[in-house]
């Protein structure tokens, strides 16, 4: 055994340490709560409905783009956010991200933006989300349609106030690029086949076949009357003419200009219209310029068409 005096000294040391620990605990218990600790506790709710949180973010994302409000859209981002757009450099920081969106909004107007979230994985203050998106917009300079269809993966981050904001975002398109090596001869041949079908449909008195050559939002600008907007309106007007006349039409395409998924064609046309009710034939001789758009299946359809007569 230890000598009695040494044992007593050790006992006193242990008792002293216990008293010091009790005093320290008492002081901490009386001290005010650290604000940072309080915030941390408040921002770790166990019952968060992440599906609702994420969907609310995307609904505001959609609405702010459709409203062309870049600053409102930017409120969805953390200050040190990073965006990875396709075909462009990385955008670091909210300011750069918002400036990029503002430039896009100046270039195009979005009529419909839809984000469909498909997956959510939460890890602490971060949530990993992925899904699909579509955008239906028009270019402000010329009214040309811009259709986007793609997928995304994003990271959102819980903020000190408990809200969630975009932290990282990357996306790409489901539509394969047209590619830089479009064969002008092949496109010209495809458009000439369109004009042959155009004439054949009129000559065979088949309005449905003729209307199939048009985009749903096509616009026709005939001489001597108001423009016709939409495939249905165009088909009704031309169908009325086909009810009154038998067509014998020829089209001679002279030039095709190509830019990505848009082609501009110009040429000459002639037609003899025979009244079905009897009477003299009507001879037409004129010129045209048309805009055609490449479709997802690779075909081409009429998007804009204007023409006039060479006959006084």
Residue closest to 180 by CA, chosen among 107, 260, 61, 246: 260
And the tokens for 62?
Answer: 């959609």
Q: What is the pLDDT of residues 260-279, one digit of tens each?
A: 899 999 999 999 999 999 99
pLDDT-derived band at 180 (thresholds 50, 70, 90) equals low
Query: How far, in Å, are 29, 208, 292 from residue 299 at the CA level?
Result: 76, 17, 10
Q: What is the pLDDT of the chain when averaged over all its residues?
A: 86
- Spatial CB neighbours of 274, under 8 Å, sequence gap ≥ 6: 245, 246, 248, 281, 282
Task: Look at the block and give the residue holding tokens 């915030």.
Answer: 39
Rounded to 10 degrees, the C-alpha dihedral 187/189/193/194 comes to 30
Q: What is the pLDDT of residues 32-64, one digit of tens each?
A: 434 333 333 344 455 689 999 999 999 999 999
**38 dihedral zone (left: phi>0; alpha: psi -120 to 50; beta):** alpha
Q: Is 97:81 a contact under the CB 8 Å cutoff?
A: yes
Helix (H) / strand (E) containing 291: strand 282-294
Pairwise CA distance, residues 306 & 106, whole Å: 28
| Beta strand 126-139 pairing with 145-158 | antiparallel
Q: What is the pLDDT of residues 228-268, one digit of tens each?
A: 999 999 999 999 999 999 999 999 999 999 988 999 999 99
User: Which pLDDT score is estimated for 82?
Assistant: 97
Q: What is the pLDDT of residues 184-195, one digit of tens each?
A: 899 999 999 999
Instruction: Report the predicted TM-score, pTM, of the whole model to 2 decimal places.
Output: 0.51
Residue closest to 167 by CA, chosen among 182, 153, 181: 153
Query: How far, in Å, are 191, 195, 224, 294 from residue 254 at the CA level?
Result: 11, 12, 24, 19
User: Which pLDDT score is estimated for 40?
Assistant: 36
Burial status of residue 47 (CB atoms within 10 A of its CB: 0-12, 13-18, 19 or more): exposed
Query: How far, in Å, are 74, 94, 118, 200 from residue 97 at the CA level?
Result: 8, 5, 24, 52
Domains of the chain: 50-173 (3.10.450.50), 184-309 (3.10.450.50)
* pLDDT (average), residues 130-152: 92
Q: Is 161:43 a contact under the CB 8 Å cutoff?
A: yes
């Amino acid at each position: 055994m230890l000598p009695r005096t040494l044992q007593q000294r050790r006992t006193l040391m242990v008792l002293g340490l216990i008293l010091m620990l009790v005093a320290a605990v008492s002081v901490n218990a009386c001290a005010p709560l650290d604000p940072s600790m309080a915030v941390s506790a408040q921002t770790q709710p166990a019952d968060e409905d992440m599906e609702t949180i994420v969907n609310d973010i995307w609904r505001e994302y959609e609405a702010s783009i459709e409203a062309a409000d870049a600053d409102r859209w930017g409120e969805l981002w953390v200050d040190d956010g990073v965006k990875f757009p396709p075909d462009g450099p990385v955008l670091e920081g909210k300011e750069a991200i918002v400036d990029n969106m503002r430039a896009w909004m100046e270039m195009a107007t979005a009529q419909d933006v839809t984000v469909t979230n498909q997956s959510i994985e939460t890890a602490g203050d971060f949530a990993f989300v992925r899904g699909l998106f579509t955008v239906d917009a028009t270019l402000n300079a010329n009214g040309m349609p811009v259709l986007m269809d793609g997928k995304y993966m994003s990271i959102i981050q819980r903020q000190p106030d408990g809200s969630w904001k975009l932290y990282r975002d990357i996306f790409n398109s489901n539509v394969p690029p047209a590619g830089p090596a479009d064969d002008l001869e092949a496109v010209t041949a495809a458009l000439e086949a369109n004009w042959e079908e155009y004439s054949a449909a009129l000559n065979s008195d088949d309005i449905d076949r003729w209307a199939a050559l048009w985009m749903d939002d096509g616009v026709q600008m005939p001489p001597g009357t108001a423009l016709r907007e939409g495939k249905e309106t165009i088909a009704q007007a031309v169908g009325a003419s086909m009810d009154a006349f038998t067509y014998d039409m020829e089209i001679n395409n002279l030039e095709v200009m190509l830019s990505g998924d848009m082609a501009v064609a110009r040429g000459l046309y002639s037609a003899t219209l025979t009244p079905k009710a009897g009477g003299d034939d009507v001879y037409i001789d004129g010129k045209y310029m048309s805009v055609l758009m490449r479709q997802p299946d690779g075909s081409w359809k009429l998007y804009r068409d204007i023409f006039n007569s060479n006959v006084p």
